[in-house]
Amino acid sequence: MEAPGRIWFGYVAAVGLAVIGLFTLDPLAFGLAVAVLVATVLGEWYRGRQAALSAAAADTDLADLVSRWARGWAYARGFPRPAAVPGGVRVEVGEPGRRVEWVATDDADTLAKLVDTARDTPEAWLSVVTESPPGVRPWFVEAGLVANDGEEALMSIQLADHAFRRLPEGYRAEVDRDGGLITVTVRVGEDVAARGRIAVIGADAVADRIQTEPEHRRRGLGGAVMSLLVSAAREAGAMHGLLVASEMGEPLYTGLGWRARARLVSARTATPRTSAESRHG
């Protein structure tokens, strides 16, 4: 029996014993009811405490967050599983102008090696997760890499804390599951108004490509798509959410309860810029 089931059974048993004691005036039944109730309450408290400690431990190490996010992002995009490198991962993206990408933290020893490696690799990107973007950009300049515009945000949430947004009237949603990949498509009539996906790997759910068509923006569709994705991810067993948000998308996720853990800045080798897609949710 799962823990929630055991807890529910404990409460039922305590009530049952109390009822028996009430009708029979048996002090032993009353005593057992109190004992079962105390044990159930303590068990529920302990389970909640362990879950909180587990969630906190899973959400503290930035290098670990980078690795977990990249694994889910690669899965969502159909890339090969990322290879671990010191301080981060290497992702075989395979897009024009972005054949390979390193995603890592801003540890000085790690960064010193990666900027040189990226510079010497054709069609390469280097993305650095940091709390201080101004401290990272000089590394790009010194290595001869071309910095991409703007910043993104690595964000996380405990999925149980995610705010719920209802789908506006006139729209309908389709939820599709393919293994651990969940896709939500919102339509009005036969036209696609918004869409998004979330990749579930173990207890992690990584949101990706949350998009609303221009003519349907500012109607709450982004929040509704995220709510549907998170609900489906929780049904699949996920507990922790991760995503990388663009500057434009970050306020949406913040309003839903997501928290920015660090900024992400990226650069590429000095080759002609292409229409390679951004990575954000």
- Could you give phi then psi for residue 131, rounded to 5 degrees? -95, -5
Q: What digits encode the pLDDT tens for the residues 180-238?
A: 999 999 999 999 999 999 999 999 999 999 999 999 999 999 999 999 999 999 999 99
Report residue 2's pLDDT band, with 50, 70 and 90 as the boundaries. Answer: very low
Which contiguous run of DSSP H or E holds residue 131? none
Q: What is residue 39's predicted lDDT score, i.e. its pLDDT? A: 74
Beta strands in the chain (DSSP E): 83-85, 88-91, 100-105, 124-130, 146-147, 152-158, 172-178, 181-188, 191-201, 204-212, 240-245, 259-268
CA dihedral (141, 147, 152, 156) positive or negative: negative
pLDDT in tens, 6-52: 445 556 666 665 666 566 767 776 577 677 666 766 666 555 544 44
Residue 209 three-state SS: strand
Share of the chain above pLDDT 70, in %: 78
- Are 155 and 242 within 8 A, CB to CB? yes
- 125 confidence band (pLDDT: 50, 70, 90): very high
Give the whole-angstrom CA distance, residue 181 versus residue 204: 12
pLDDT of res. 40? 66
Residue 129: predicted pLDDT: 97
Q: Is the pLDDT of residue 58 over 70?
A: no
Tell whether the model's pLDDT for residue 87 goes beyond 70.
Answer: yes
